[in-house]
Amino acid sequence: MTPIRLAIVGLGKIARDQHLGAIEATDGIDLVAVASRNASLENVA
C-alpha cells in the first residue's frame, strides 16, 4: 500500500507534543513537510 504523505502547517506545542508522536506511531503515514513561523524548531527531524 502506498503511504499517505502528510504535511503539517503550524507546529505549535500541541502539534509537537501530541500530533508528531501519533503520526510517527501510525503505519502508512509519512511526514514529508512542516511549515511554521518559528524558524528554530529543535528535535523535529
Residue 12 has what pLDDT? 87
- Round to whole Å and give the CA distance between 39 and 7: 16
What is the predicted pLDDT for the residue at 26?
97
pLDDT at 24: 94
Q: Find the mean pLDDT for residues 15-38.
A: 92
Find the mean pLDDT for residues 19-41: 88
Which whole-number Å values give the CA distances from 12 to 3, 18, 30, in the listed order?
25, 10, 19
**Where do the domains of the chain lie?**
4-35
